[in-house]
Amino acid sequence: MVLSLPIKRITTEPSIPREYDVIVYAEGNSYYAKSKNGTIICINSPTKCLQEAINYGRSIYVKGIFDLPNPVTITSGKVIYIDGYISSIRITDYAADIEVVGRDKLDFHVGNLYIDGGAAKLTFRNLFINTATIRFGGHILFDSCTFKYINLHGYEPGRTAHWITFLRSWIQNPDGNGIDMRKAEHILFISSVIAYNRGIGVNIGESWNIKFINSILEGNQTGIAVSVSDVVLEETLVYANRDYGIYIGDFAIVIIRDHSDVRASSKDIDILIDFPGSTLMIDRISIIDSIRGLDKLTYFESNNPSYMSKNTGRATIPAGATSVTVNHGLICTPRKVLVTPLAQPNGYIWVSDINNTLFTINTSTPPPTDLPVAWYAEC
């Protein structure tokens, strides 16, 4: 992929900043790499010069545009400063202790970043990355980075994308989903924005311990879709322009807390539960206006007054009557209703006609005086 970047062409040979061992730079179609002590490492081959510069020193200063036919490989113990553009970077084979830093105010620093093979202890700062793909690697920090698309797709348990933190980062894909996640573990987004994505903001499946804190998740279709995964949203805004704020598929656990806000624009369904077997938990200070499909949940818990999942109360069967109807106030059709008479009944008591707003308490024998009862209902 060739990108047109606003990088000034080098007209004089740059000096090597003191903190770097090697400089590699481009001038027109000429490429040059030399060490801090003046040793010429390579000339006139972009891939060779960049790769040999990386292999030669621990700290490497990259200046200019390197549009490479093949990825350059970064090995362990390297610090790379990119004042320009590298089309493709590969980090594999258990490479570790690597830091890659970008210069401010460039359109792109890296075209494609590929991490696999158990690479670990990696740090990326202040970079514009077109596409990042992480298959098997972990203990990775992206700090103040911008992406078009992120693909976290592991292989199997023990060989996953894991322990990855996105801090103050931005993901924006006008062509599709912002993030696709499969077989990923312990992924944390802090003060990050996943927005202006044409498809789904974050699409998560078969992934565990995924957390968003003080972040924004937005998609044209859906803000976040979750299946066979567990996700926590804290102080996070989830927004969808077209479909649903949160789409919950099968066997998902979604916890929403600490002033989170879930919104959907067109369909007015903030959360849709589409398959059975999932868990949803909402605290009382999060903002959600509409939920559809609660009857499909295996477990629902909320202390939000608008979305009560448990409730208690008292009712009275009038003297001479055989039933009383109770408004339970829950967001769902209760799965469990317990009734305790508070005086000696003349017959047995049971519950019938349970729906999403009411249930009926019945007695087999009309009481001679009012019969008080206590009830408990839960989703």
- Summarised one tens digit per residue, pLDDT across range 115-152 is 999 999 999 999 999 999 999 999 999 999 999 999 99
**Block residue for tokens 């109360």:** 313
Domain match, 243 and 315 both: no
- Asked if 221 and 368 sit in the same domain, the reply is no
Q: Does 370 share its domain with 257?
A: no
pLDDT given for residue 368 in this prediction: 93
- Contacts with 99 (C-beta within 8 Å, 6 or more apart), sequence order: 78, 79, 80, 122, 123, 124, 125
Structural domain includes residue 247: yes
Domain that holds residue 340: 310-378
CA distances to 14, 51, 67, 72, 91 from 46, in Å:
17, 8, 8, 10, 18
Write down which residue in 272, 288, 307 finishes a domain.
307
- Cα–Cα–Cα angle for 124, 128, 129, rounded to 5 degrees: 80
Query: H/E element holding 276?
Result: none
Provide the token pair at 79.
Answer: 């610090």
Does 351 reside within a domain? yes
Report d(CA 102, CA 79) in Å as an integer. 11
Q: Indicate if 269 and 225 belong to the same structural domain.
A: yes
φ, ψ for residue 136, nearest 5 deg: -135, 100
Is there a contact between 279 and 306 (Cβ–Cβ < 8 Å)? no
Q: Strand 349-352 to strand 358-363: parallel, antiparallel, or no bridges (unpaired)?
A: antiparallel
- Could you tell me if 283 and 214 lie in one domain? yes
Residue 69's Cβ-count burial label (10 Å; 0-12, 13-18, 19+) is: exposed
> Domain of 325: which CATH number?
2.40.30
| Same-domain check for residues 341 and 300 | no
Do 250 and 290 have their domain in common?
Answer: yes
Largest CA distance in the chain: 106
Same domain, 343 and 277: no
The residues near 82 (Cβ < 8 Å, ≥ 6 apart) are: 62, 100, 101, 102, 103, 109, 110, 127
Torsion sign (Cα): 165, 262, 207, 102: negative
Residue 180 sits in the same domain as residue 217: yes
- How many domains does one find in the chain? 2
Dihedral of CA atoms 173, 176, 179, 182 in degrees, nearest 10, equals -160
The CATH number of whichever domain residue 256 belongs to comes to 2.160.20.10
Residue-level pLDDT at 14: 54
Domain match, 302 and 315 both: no
* Co-location of 361 and 271 in the same domain: no
- Check: CB of residue 196 under 8 Å from CB of residue 216: no
Question: Is the CB of residue 114 less than 8 Å from the CB of residue 133?
Answer: yes
Q: Which pLDDT value is given to residue 120?
A: 96
| Domain-located, residue 8 | no
Instruction: Give per-residue burial for 182-212: e unless 16+ CB within 10 Å, then b.
Output: bbbbbbbbbebbbbbbebbbbbbbbbbebbb
* Tokens representing residue 269 in the block: 């369904």
- All residue ranges of the chain with pLDDT < 70 are 1-18, 105, 266-267, 284, 305-306
Boundary (domain end) residue, out of 282, 307, 332? 307
The last residue of one of the domains, among 249, 283, 307, is 307
Query: 224-241 pLDDT, tens per residue?
Result: 999 999 999 999 999 998
Same domain, yes or no: 192 and 338: no
The token pair that represents 91 in the structure block: 């980090």
